[in-house]
Homo-oligomer: A and B are copies of this chain.
Amino acid sequence: MTTDATTELEQLVRERAEAVRRQDEDALLRREHPDVLSFPVLPPAVSRGREGTAQAMRAWFDSYAEGPGYEVHEVWVEAEGDLGCVSFHYHVTGTLHTGGEVDMWVRVTLVCRRTDGTWQVVHAHESVPFDPATGQALLSEGPNTV
């Protein structure tokens, strides 16, 4: 593991969380590779390219009347050379325009590439598990639930 890469990727996660909290789309999209392959927590199952991420992000921010709050937990990093992998959990909270209260834990895996000293996300996977008995997504399963 390259120590400076690990430090830079931990910083990428911190900056991502801060950018979500201030709804800074430009800062978030600068970190997305133009050809990013995304597996989002909400449909579609697959999104290819930064434009898809931008649209989903705008819709996500627009759905909140208050928030989203976004706290990162349990950051894990593996890196070698200019390839880095990060996983973490985020706890997202807030109030939707529909009146719904959000209080949800999401699992994240990011694959990142460093080009000219800048890391970008080339693959993102965000999800929650689901209960096979009911088919319901499980929104309250944090990293220390079990």
Task: Give the residues in chain B near A143, CB-CB below 8 Å.
Answer: 45-46
Interface residues on A, range: 35 or more
For this chain, the copies found in one complex come to 2
Given contacts A83-B85, A127-B129, contact A78 B42 (CB under 8 A): no
Question: CB-defined interface of A59-75 with B at 8 Å, one 1/0 digit per residue?
Answer: 00000000000000010
Nearest-neighbor residue (CB-CB) of A137 within chain B: B130
Task: Give the residues in chain B near A83, CB-CB below 8 Å.
Answer: 78-81, 83, 85
Task: Give the residues in chain B near A39, CB-CB below 8 Å.
Answer: 87, 107, 109, 127, 129
Q: Is the CB of A125 within 8 A of B123?
A: no
Q: Is the CB of A107 within 8 A of B42?
A: no
Nearest-neighbor residue (CB-CB) of A104 within chain B: B132
